[in-house]
Amino acid sequence: MGFVDEVPVPVLEDWADWLVYARALSGAGDPRGEAIRLEHRGAPADDVQLAAVYRQVERECGLDGLRADGSWRLGWSRGFLDTAVFRLTEQNGPAEETGPAEETGPRRRALVLRLLAELPHSGVHDPDDPEQWEAVLVDVLLRHPAAGRLRRLELHLTDHHHSAGRAAAALAARQRPRLAELYLGHHYDTLFELHRTSTGRPLEVERYLHDPVVPHEAGRALWPALPALRSLELEGAFLFDDVVHEELTHLRTRGAVTRWRS
């Protein structure tokens, strides 16, 4: 999809190495080479051109539909995604009041179908279930090679009963050597209240008392894949079995984020 990932990515932040990398990308027809050169020059007058180049990168990567959907806010640096914030856009008012709107629901479904056809994903999504669309939007971005150098990631989930596990599995599918800040969870007012999905369906959190939202295997694989993680925020009920990471310097939890052990 127009993303060259055969050229070795520099390990260090030295600009000389990145300019060599940029020349190799440009030689392969990858517009990220031009973006890296513009970033290195750092001229304010280049900001508009740089934004335009990264819009081209997103189109050629197959990621342009994610920005158009409005749920992802993306920041690029040196040819890779540097920051990413996900919050599912409401399709027709508050999720607890309405399901997918007649206009935007079909558009999001069409986007999901295209992404599943064109981009790497876990292969276990049902595009006919609107509550799984969020999981697709998260899964395809985190499995894309453009997300390999993420530094900060926020996942504010709505249909977390599908998307939290998919997100954890996608993150664990490759090492994330720069991911230092992670928020993962869903907002709530009272811990054991009925959670409302994007379709307005009530979801009882007690169903995860003994089996967490994120499946055991995905949860165990996640933490070793994030060696640079220093700041972690988790919000919700019974998301994980355990949180095991010796290098954390900041941990914030809201809710009983690990399951009850009997």
Structure pTM?
A: 0.92
Which pLDDT band holds residue 261 (cuts at 50, 70, 90)? low
Lowest-confidence pick of 70-74, 76-80, 122-126, 186-190? 186-190
* Mean pLDDT of the region 72-90: 96
* Mean pLDDT of the region 2-28: 92
* Mean pLDDT of the region 125-129: 96
The answer to whether 64 touches 25, Cβ cutoff 8 Å, is no
SS (H, E, C) 208-251: HCCCCCCCHHHHHHHHHHCCCCCEEEEECCCCECCCCCCCCCEE
Cβ within 8 Å of residue 54, ≥6 positions away: 35, 76
Which pLDDT band holds residue 94 (cuts at 50, 70, 90)? very low
Residue 67 confidence (pLDDT) above 50: yes
Mean pLDDT taken over the chain = 91
pLDDT value of residue 92: 43
Of 156, 153, 163, which is closest to residue 130 (Cα–Cα)?
Answer: 163
Which pLDDT band holds residue 195 (cuts at 50, 70, 90)? confident
Residue 66 confidence (pLDDT) above 90: yes
Residue 262 confidence (pLDDT) above 60: no
Q: In the block, which residue shows the tokens 């973006």?
A: 35
Higher pLDDT, 209 or 121: 121
The CA distance from 148 to 118, in Å, is 18
Which pLDDT band holds residue 103 (cuts at 50, 70, 90)? low
List, for residues 43-60, the tens digit of each pLDDT value: 998 999 999 999 999 999
Strand duo 202-203 + 195-196: pairing = antiparallel
pLDDT value of residue 123: 85
Q: In the block, which residue shows the tokens 């941990």?
A: 251
Higher pLDDT, 182 or 5: 182
The CA distance from 259 to 98, in Å, is 30
